[in-house]
Amino acid sequence: MQRSITKSTTVVFILTTISSILGFVRESYIAFLFGATGLTDAFYIALIFPDTIVGLIQSALTYSLVPVLKAERRKDDKSASTLIYVILLLSMVIFTIMTIIAFLFRNPLVSLFSPGFSKREHLIAVQLLSVMIVGVVFTGISGVLSGVNNAFEEFTFPAAVGVVYNVILISTSIILAPVLGIRSLAFGFLIGVFGKLIIQFVPVIRYRYLSKRQSIWHPSVPTVARLMPPILISSGLGTINLIIDRVLASGLPNGYISDLTYASKIGLMPAILVGGSLATTLYNQFVSNILDNNFVQLQKNLVKATTWVVFISIVIGGIFILFSSDIIYLLFRHGAFTLKDVAITATPLIIYGVFQPFYILIPILDRVFYAAKKNRSVMMRSLLAVGVNILVSVLTVHRLGIKGLVLGNGLAQVVAVVMLCTAIFKWTRISYVRIMLQAFRRGGIPGILVFCSFGASLCITRTWGEGSLKLLVFQGMIALGFGVLFLTIYTFVDGKSDISIFLRKILGVKRIT
């Protein structure tokens, strides 16, 4: 079941990319059906607890289970099997209790997350939450199974859950929206998270991770529980910031929460695709490097990962900055989504483009500390970053609207990255400044070349006019062609950087000496 880092990362990246594309289709279809209105605002507020908060707990459970379960596997397969059984049993009980409590207090929950809602929006959000709350149990158990599969180095099925979820939610919306309206999204969510749970059971059954006779307790359960709280807070920095943004945006005009959600879906995609894929497959390597006290290899892994982060963040950030309005127009401008919504949503996407390197680095740096079980220090630094987001957002939301919220979120990522890099240096004496310089030399130069090529194509094609869908697509193809041309030339003259070697293999060319 062992796989190379490259192969595993590729599989995770492809599945995550498909999931993200389907996510755009999902959001685009929701925008087509309901636009950016009080209805969609109510849905996204109702989504916070069963999806965002419980998903955060699921993530913490996954990453706290992996190192403990791997240690148990080294001791005894039966012990590992027992741990899986006990964690599954406890999760079912705990998440069932959470579901009952959340259902009983669904009115206060909605009020907590949307203090600026009208009575009508509040009532719709409560009705949606009443349906979606059942998915808490499915999401929680899915988190356990994700940790189990990752510990056994089975990355395919955990990465495929997003594909299953989006396909089900889109299909359910198409079928039920004409009859149930906005409630179709709630039922689609519920069926989707159940599908995520079912697909995670496939490798568990196939490889028989669970034996028939099991104990109802395992001595490693307290260790998993002890690791969870700091991971819950530190890994949840982005999620907590998004929740804060939605709470503050609830006091803005109708539709602003939806506009913010659409912009964040696109702006955070590279962090999920690139940062998440690299972090998922490098996690086991980080654990081995730290257990062996091999900080030289740890530094090499960080340099390679950061090189790709720098290159991709410059390219993607450039696309967001230069083509923000075009992206929003192509993805969402149809149905009830107006030109005003396009303008409101496009500006935050530019801000996301500026902060791309920090968003993508966060999941990778977090995994280094999770691997070393240095979770409490990360938790404190993450709390400080959340404080920065709250401060900036509160000061700017009334003047800048959702642009101020995205700005606060981006500055929070900067604070988090700086603190994590400082902590790495104090702990390992690995200078992240030196890593960044190496990464910029290897990945920054080709990234800037691509960015400049996009800018050149934009200057040329903008003179042809704008507004036509076909013209926008054609302009995008021209920009892509410029980027590929500049990058191809670079691969001929560059040295032995990972990016150049990778590109030369794809293009089948050799370096000019």
Residue 289: CB partners within 8 Å, gap ≥ 6? Answer: 295, 297, 298, 301, 371
For the chain, the average pLDDT equals 82
Evaluate if residue 289 carries a pLDDT over 80: yes
Residue 427: CB partners within 8 Å, gap ≥ 6? Answer: 372, 374
Evaluate if residue 161 carries a pLDDT over 50: yes
Q: What percent of the chain has pLDDT over 70?
A: 86
pTM above threshold 0.85:
no
Instruction: Please report, for the chain, how many H helices and E strands are present, in that order.
Output: 23, 0
d(CA 494, CA 473): 31
Evaluate if residue 335 carries a pLDDT over 70: no
What pLDDT is attached to residue 204? 85
Contact 275, 364 (CB under 8 A): yes
- Model confidence band, residue 455 (pLDDT cutoffs 50, 70, 90): confident
Evaluate if residue 109 carries a pLDDT over 60: yes
The residue ranking higher by pLDDT, 355 or 304, is 355
The residue ranking higher by pLDDT, 24 or 499, is 24
Q: What is the DSSP letter of 215?
A: -
Evaluate if residue 278 carries a pLDDT over 50: yes
Evaluate if residue 163 carries a pLDDT over 60: yes
Residue 352: both structure tokens together: 């996301």
For residue range 237-252, what is the model confidence (pLDDT) as tens digits? 666 767 777 788 877 8
- Model confidence band, residue 189 (pLDDT cutoffs 50, 70, 90): very high
- DSSP letters, 384-415, are HHHHHHHHHHHHHHHHHTHHHHHHHHHHHHHH
For residue range 373-414, what is the model confidence (pLDDT) as tens digits? 777 767 777 788 888 988 998 899 888 888 898 999 899 889
- Model confidence band, residue 303 (pLDDT cutoffs 50, 70, 90): confident
Q: What is the dihedral of CA 381, 384, 390, 395, to 10 degrees?
A: -130
